[in-house]
Structure 1
Amino acid sequence: MSGPSRPVPFTADDYRARMARAADAAAGAGLAGVLVAPGPDLVHLTGYQPVNTERLTLLVLTPGQDPVLVVPTLEAPDAAEAVGGPALTLRDWTDGKDPYAVAAPLLRDRGKYGISDNTWAMHLLGLQGALPDTSYVSLTEALPMLRAVKDARELERLAAAGAAADAVYEEILKVRFSGRAETDIAAELADLLKRFGHSQVDFTVVGSGPNGANPHHEAGDRTIEPGDMVVLDFGGLKHGYGSDTSRTVHVGEPTAEERRVHDIVRQAQEAGCAAVRPGIACQEVDRAARAVIAEAGYGERFIHRTGHGIGVTTHEPPYMIEGEELPLVPGMCFSVEPGIYLPGRFGVRIEDIVTVTEDGGRRLNATSRELAIVE
């Protein structure tokens, strides 16, 4: 693929703004602050990506106060050099000392804090031991919009990841499927993702024939045969942001039923994408796609949500599912991926990443959604 090799880097000002928004959102949710352990939330807020270990690393965001990052002394130089380093204050602690005694003075004695979902239990228990009157709630529950709305530079990265996934699909259509194991095709997908700029491959689903009726079947040793439907679902991270796309192909000429089921899913996916616009609830996207499949008589065979958010991880809030009443906001990015799954026979899924614009939605995947015929 042609084009710039690297996107414009995020700056310390970008991270300062993100941390300030998170602290403001915490105040709006009635929280004393936000506590963030190593993981995707910390990467998003600071640009710092340490390994999550038994040594406490914790970002403390408190409304009206400067951000503080508690770090092990041996990791302080790396933290200081991180892109977000200038945007916050470091408080380090040495091996043999109590890290929770360092963190405790940064928290209110009786405060309620949002805490990142992937915080180790030992660290949460350590904080509770130091401050027994504090309470905690997961960030997904308390602040589901924390990473949901992307800025222009994030959207640039997501668009580049989507374009790379599209290039992978165009290339995989050129290979032979028949007579090869699902794992062979999965390996080619992984190689292609890396070839087109992905630093991390998260999944390469190859579900042939009856395996395609299992939405989370990845790839096994089944030999792909003429007459098989094959569900392809693959993605990972490029420049730190996710790709995720699904297409269903057929080995040789499909039957009339297979064409019909594929076309129903294609129409459902079109309806879900067409429903995207600012202000509607997330569940409306699910309802739009699901209605097409239900009307065609396959409602019980659509067995998962219509979509999930994507950003620094390939699955994150918001979720396009009945009961999710969060309104769509420009800058949100999520999948629209309805499917039909016929146990013991075949499955069909079609997926694009869509971003909410000021007046509708824009797909970040552009490959054909028609049923492709492969050898």
Structure 2
Amino acid sequence: MPRTVFDEAEYERRIERTKARLREEGLDAVVVSDPANMNYLTGYDGWSFYVHQAVVVTPDRDEPVWIGREMDANGARATTWLSESSIRSYSDDHVHSPHDLHPMDVFADVLADLDVADGRIGLEMDAYYFTAKSYVRLQKNLPEAEFEDATLLVNWVRVRKSEQELEYMREAARISENAMAAGLEAIEEGVPEYEAAAAIYDALITGTEAYGGDYPSIVPLMPSGDHTGTPHLTWTDRPFEEGDPVIIELSGCRHRYHSPMARTTFVGDPPAEIERTAEVVVEGLEAALDAVEPGVTCESVEKAWRETIAQYGLEKEDRIGYSMGLGYPPDWGEHTASLRPGDETVLEEGMTFHAIPGIWGDDFGVEISETFHVTASGAETLADFPRRLFTT
């Protein structure tokens, strides 16, 4: 019995919306290789994205077709709602083959079986796990096909969440709260950074009394000391020292759905400049959240932040948030809407964002972030955790 986490009707709705996009774009098929998009359409969940795999959707077939490594086909049977005829696999000699075999040879055979060998086929050209060689091999095997870039086609279908998706994200938020508390408690002078990381990981997997956690798409990020102006560093062997600012960005994960959160702490008594910056970040974040409602644009939410921090002589050139939810390594973002100048995406009920308006300078950085859901009445922040600078 498949262990899908949504009912079949929800998957069918997702497929129908994807088919509608195919028709709008005049595509005869789309090859979906992003593991998050594969999961979204079929439920497939396995750590097999390091080899070539995909889901193929056509406008006229009821079910998509999963294609992957033969040893992973049972994973498709275990986690998807697909019938046996919709599960296709390639033999292991196609993996790192010394015989000039490639998984795209089998992909091409499947596309031919679906009668689209000479059709317009969408590919996720900028997806992490779709390689240049895959593209070249498909072109060689299907010389009559016309390939189009459909990188974000499914991502935009995903942008509005169902009630069950939102519930999984709320459950992820409970895990995020526990993990953040564990990390903050572990950080003190003399403690190696990896011990704080271990405490966070323990909480991320232990979850809550009611349910456990999955592995997150991004490891806990923990820049500290002089490096808090660089947001994407992890932990080291270095012990925390008095005078260290420390940023923690993490996310609980529940059935592949995330609810990221960032907080900043300080080992010892923080200087006035860091305290002031944290207060401005919180004020600006709250102004941005207050600006959220259906019908406004992403850029108008960012503008509320920008105008708030400008009163204090601060500015930030980077985006302050992005659409996110379902994800696999290396990213939980959906790569669609961003809270930034020039993004005229209109907010709709059911959209979810990670608002992360960090200030990163040459000497230190401050991050305080929230995941929010766009509701009819504004932003629902999914986590319930103090929004301030912490100290140890």
Give the TM-score range, shorter chain: 0.7 to 0.9
- Residue 58 of structure 1 aligns with an amino acid whose one-letter code is A
In 2, Cα distance between equivalents of 1:193 and 1:93:
35
Is 1:102 matched with 2:102? no
Q: Counterpart of 2:391 in 1: which secondary structure?
A: strand
In 2, Cα distance between equivalents of 1:146 and 1:47:
15
Where does structure 2 lack aligned partners over 5 or more consecutive residues?
95-100
In 2, Cα distance between equivalents of 1:88 and 1:11:
20
1:145 matched to which residue of 2? 156
Note the C-alpha offset of 1:78: 4.0
1:15 matched to which residue of 2? 11
1:238 matched to which residue of 2? 254
- Residue 199 of structure 1 aligns with an amino acid whose one-letter code is D
Q: Counterpart of 1:264 in 2: which secondary structure?
A: helix
In 1, Cα distance between equivalents of 2:231 and 2:72:
41
Note the C-alpha offset of 1:67: 2.8
1:312 matched to which residue of 2? 326
In 1, Cα distance between equivalents of 2:269 and 2:122:
57
Does the 8 Å contact 2:174/2:252 carry over to 1? no
Does the 8 Å contact 2:282/2:368 carry over to 1? yes
Note the C-alpha offset of 1:309: 2.1
Is 1:32 matched with 2:24? no
CA RMSD, 1 decimal: 2.7
In 2, Cα distance between equivalents of 1:182 and 1:93:
43
**Which of 30, 40, 44 matches 1:48?**
44
1:127 matched to which residue of 2? 138
| TM-score, L = length of structure 2 | 0.83
Q: Counterpart of 1:242 in 2: which secondary structure?
A: strand
Note the C-alpha offset of 1:88: 7.5
After superposition, the C-alpha distances for 1:96-145 in whole angstroms (9 at most, x for unaligned) are 894112322422624142437233433333322233341120422x4541
Identity %: 28
Where does structure 1 lack aligned partners over 5 or more consecutive residues?
1-6
Is 1:210 matched with 2:226? yes
1:285 matched to which residue of 2? 301
Is 1:352 matched with 2:367? no
After superposition, the C-alpha distances for 1:318-367 in whole angstroms (9 at most, x for unaligned) are 32222222211211111111111221x22111111001112311001110
- Residue 231 of structure 1 aligns with an amino acid whose one-letter code is I
Does the 8 Å contact 2:265/2:390 carry over to 1? yes
Residues 179 and 78 of structure 1: CA distance in aligned 2, closer, same or farther (over 3 Å): closer
Residues 258 and 78 of structure 1: CA distance in aligned 2, closer, same or farther (over 3 Å): closer
- Residue 151 of structure 1 aligns with an amino acid whose one-letter code is S
Is 1:189 matched with 2:200? yes
In 2, Cα distance between equivalents of 1:168 and 1:81:
30
**Which of 361, 369, 372 matches 2:379?**
361
In 2, Cα distance between equivalents of 1:87 and 1:330:
36
Note the C-alpha offset of 1:236: 4.7
Note the C-alpha offset of 1:77: 4.5
Residues 347 and 86 of structure 1: CA distance in aligned 2, closer, same or farther (over 3 Å): same
In 1, Cα distance between equivalents of 2:238 and 2:195:
10
Residues 104 and 352 of structure 1: CA distance in aligned 2, closer, same or farther (over 3 Å): same
2:287 matched to which residue of 1? 271
Is 1:113 matched with 2:122? yes
2:98 matched to which residue of 1? none
In 2, Cα distance between equivalents of 1:305 and 1:183:
30
Note the C-alpha offset of 1:280: 1.7
Q: Counterpart of 2:284 in 1: which secondary structure?
A: helix
| TM-score, L = length of structure 1 | 0.87
In 1, Cα distance between equivalents of 2:162 and 2:241:
45
- Residue 386 of structure 2 aligns with an amino acid whose one-letter code is S
Q: Counterpart of 1:34 in 2: which secondary structure?
A: strand
2:167 matched to which residue of 1? 156
Q: Which moved more, 1:95-104 or 1:326-335?
A: 95-104
Does the 8 Å contact 2:187/2:240 carry over to 1? no
In 2, Cα distance between equivalents of 1:32 and 1:175:
54
Does the 8 Å contact 1:247/1:351 carry over to 2? yes
Does the 8 Å contact 1:236/1:242 carry over to 2? yes
Residues 92 and 259 of structure 1: CA distance in aligned 2, closer, same or farther (over 3 Å): closer
Equivalenced residues, count: 363
1:3 matched to which residue of 2? none
Q: Counterpart of 1:139 in 2: which secondary structure?
A: coil
Does the 8 Å contact 1:66/1:88 carry over to 2? no
1:372 matched to which residue of 2? 390
